[in-house]
Chain A
């Protein structure tokens, strides 16, 4: 459960106002997609939620306690994944567990299971440079899930992928979300993606970012949704909203 109230954030000693009074909450197991113009502060918001950037004023509580730095319960997938090039896929996936002192045998079990579910087992000894974009993304997901987090933050996870791979990964993500009971916040530039993956969709304005609307999107959560009329209708209404900004 994430709760954010009148969050403000400025850079460069107050001269650059980025977030200007953001309020929202995301319940356990719920997912929220964030959409908004480039440079408005979406990445900044995720960095704050991940505990990487200090926020100005306002309150941010995660699972009932005020946010203080990175937490094991929150996993963050960066805009271009941040996989370490000098580590193999296997080592990348084990990294978080290694940092948290998880025992070797347990690391092996968890990593094997994750890599198998994500179809990466035969690539486990490769270095990230050898992988395709979609494979890298799957490694990033595996690495994020390795610590068994409650909350998953993702910054434009599928933006560099072709439609086919992207939709397959969206389906994978949907399954993982349900099987791991994840609370998810996802930043995206794609209206279709926001509508497909978000139980609700937060539309942000230009910088300094305010919330233009938080739209409920009850139809999402199944694969079939992509084909339904409700999906297209939701896309249309979000598009209108975005075009106004």
Chain B
């Protein structure tokens, strides 16, 4: 479906709904059914209050975690059941026996086992979604044409190869369809579990205002819940339609057997987007966010909900920044043989799709920040500007590496502000570690592009000062990184084991710099990816160990 048509469709159905509502309100003429304009006005007023967003945030958290958990468990399980005849024979009868049972009857059991908190709610919604996704995935795998297996087997593929190259890409769209179709169920169950034993969430808001005869407020909750459902539904449809445009004709075609020509590429599309934003490189920044959480934990209590929105904000910010970077550089990347195969220059992702992707990621960042605190919401805009601005710096200054480092090093500071509402000098040092670390390896990376950058008059330390000096600068930055890391030992009074980790990190940096020589840059990618992912994880491990042992001793 074309976006324009979808929008028109939405407006039309919304208008119809409002009309019917208005007529019904006139007919009933009782406060139980307020007029739509009153409800909408109340909703807009509520949308400006923190209380509403608190309920909204908690409901969103519950349902999103349920969906993610259900998908992460059901999708692999569905693949195994669908692929292995033996497992299928044993497990499927069981699954199909449980499948039609309304899982909601398990509620008392779950409450007894997992208590009255969020966990029970998440588990109940999760179980219901789990079976839907499981069955859809299994059937998806069963419907794969034998010829794909045969053509891989003839190339000597193993079971693992077949699962990686055939089974899971073929099954993925089925699991997304299942997710989209079960959005309604997920929201209903969410309402159900929020209607008792809790004092937060939109379901609670609805039931509570109902009990207080505050009907307009009740409708605010209802509208909020509808919006939540709509956003989820549209997200899943976006995954299906933008990522595989041929499955776009909506509900009626959902049960069509997905044949070879149309299954196409949903996986590759995701991989393409993930590659565009170098999702895998998240390993470099995420450990720092987690490390900040560990440190902040000391001065402020940390709840799962906050941690969740922090991670969402990070994912949004990262995707937006990298997406924008690729977008802004598309013309430059197209000329560089090393990057010409990237998704935008090669046309694998259209500019239009890239813009939508960037906008959606930015929105995710801003909304997640807003759900953290008002301060975070306001700060999210300058941060976004900074993240976008970075992309242009290499056109006029060789300091671009430092600016990249700075942009990424806002992570620990951001986490700190999100939780404590203030800034501390200590956490700024952790940011400095990250800044010098990222800037240092960005200089190394830029060595690969020296010829190209010079020719295109782009600024980078290697292009301006030569490879030899660049390697020296990179070494200095990494020395600074290790030193500022070590200083955290005193700043946060960590356990001495922390210093042992620092020593290991220093050795790894040393190896990394040995791998890259002025006359041999072929190891840059190895140095980059493997050593850095270990270093990043060690950064986190160091702080975690230092902090935990400090507590026990």
Q: Which A residues contact B (CB, under 8 angstroms)?
A: 47, 50-52, 70-72, 74-76, 78-88, 91, 95-96, 99-100, 125, 127-129, 147
* Cβ B157 vs Cβ A86 within 8 A: no
Q: A78-B147, A84-B165, A99-B161 are contacts. A51–B154 as well, Cβ < 8 Å?
A: yes
* Cβ B154 vs Cβ A129 within 8 A: no
Let me know if B266 is at the binding interface, CB within 8 A. Answer: yes
Q: Which of B152, B156, B346 makes the CB contact (< 8 A) with A100?
A: B156
* Cβ A70 vs Cβ B264 within 8 A: no
Provide the main secondary structure of the chain B interface: helix
* Cβ A85 vs Cβ B261 within 8 A: yes
Q: A82-B147, A84-B166 are contacts. A129–B262 as well, Cβ < 8 Å?
A: yes
Q: Which of A70, A83, A125 makes the CB contact (< 8 A) with B156?
A: A70
Q: A85-B261, A86-B169, A127-B265 are contacts. A78–B161 as well, Cβ < 8 Å?
A: no
Minimum CB–CB distance for A124 against chain B, Å: 9
Q: How far is the CA of A74 from the CA of B153 in the complex (A)?
A: 12
What bracket does the count of chain B residues touching chain A fall in?
Answer: 20 to 34
Let me know if B268 is at the binding interface, CB within 8 A. Answer: yes
Could you say which residues of chain A place their CB within 8 Å of the CB of B421?
Answer: none
Q: Which of B155, B246, B265, B348 makes the CB contact (< 8 A) with A96?
A: B155
Chain B 236-293 residues near chain A, CB threshold 8 A: 246, 260-268
Minimum CB–CB distance for B268 against chain A, Å: 5
Minimum CB–CB distance for A233 against chain B, Å: 36
Q: Which of B147, B155, B261 makes the CB contact (< 8 A) with A70?
A: B155
* Residue of B whose beta carbon sits closest to that of A81: B151
Question: Considering residues A52, A75, A82, which has the most beta carbons from chain B within 10 angstroms of its beta carbon?
Answer: A82
Q: How far is the CA of A75 from the CA of B79 in the complex (A)?
A: 28
Minimum CB–CB distance for A63 against chain B, Å: 16
* Cβ A86 vs Cβ B156 within 8 A: no
Minimum CB–CB distance for A182 against chain B, Å: 16
Minimum CB–CB distance for A186 against chain B, Å: 15
* Cβ B148 vs Cβ A129 within 8 A: no
Provide the main secondary structure of the chain A interface: loop
Q: Which B residues contact A (CB, under 8 angstroms)?
A: 147-148, 150-157, 161, 165-166, 169-170, 246, 260-268, 346-348
* Residue of B whose beta carbon sits closest to that of A72: B156
Minimum CB–CB distance for B469 against chain A, Å: 29
Question: Considering residues A71, A75, A99, which has the most beta carbons from chain B within 10 angstroms of its beta carbon?
Answer: A99
17 contacts between A and B (CB under 8 A): A52-B154, A70-B153, A72-B156, A74-B154, A81-B151, A84-B151, A85-B260, A86-B170, A86-B265, A86-B268, A88-B265, A88-B268, A99-B157, A99-B165, A125-B347, A128-B264, A129-B264
Q: How far is the CA of A81 from the CA of B261 in the complex (A)?
A: 12
* Cβ B153 vs Cβ A84 within 8 A: no
* Residue of A whose beta carbon sits closest to that of B266: A86
Q: A80-B147, A82-B150 are contacts. A99–B265 as well, Cβ < 8 Å?
A: no
Known: A86-B267, A88-B268, A128-B261. 7 other contacts (CB 8 A): A70-B154, A80-B147, A84-B169, A99-B161, A100-B155, A125-B346, A127-B264
Minimum CB–CB distance for B324 against chain A, Å: 22
Q: How far is the CA of A50 from the CA of B152 in the complex (A)?
A: 12
* Cβ A129 vs Cβ B268 within 8 A: no
Q: How far is the CA of A57 from the CA of B26 in the complex (A)?
A: 85
Q: How far is the CA of A169 from the CA of B169 in the complex (A)?
A: 31
Minimum CB–CB distance for A206 against chain B, Å: 25
Question: Considering residues A72, A75, A76, which has the most beta carbons from chain B within 10 angstroms of its beta carbon?
Answer: A76
* Residue of B whose beta carbon sits closest to that of A87: B268
Could you say which residues of chain A place their CB within 8 Å of the CB of B147?
Answer: 78-80, 82
Could you say which residues of chain B place their CB within 8 Å of the CB of A95?
Answer: 152, 155, 165
| Nearest 7 A/B pairs, CB to CB | A82-B151, A76-B154, A86-B169, A85-B264, A96-B155, A82-B147, A129-B261
* Cβ A147 vs Cβ B155 within 8 A: yes
Minimum CB–CB distance for A35 against chain B, Å: 22
* Residue of A whose beta carbon sits closest to that of B346: A125
Q: How far is the CA of A147 from the CA of B152 in the complex (A)?
A: 13
Q: How far is the CA of A173 from the CA of B536 in the complex (A)?
A: 52
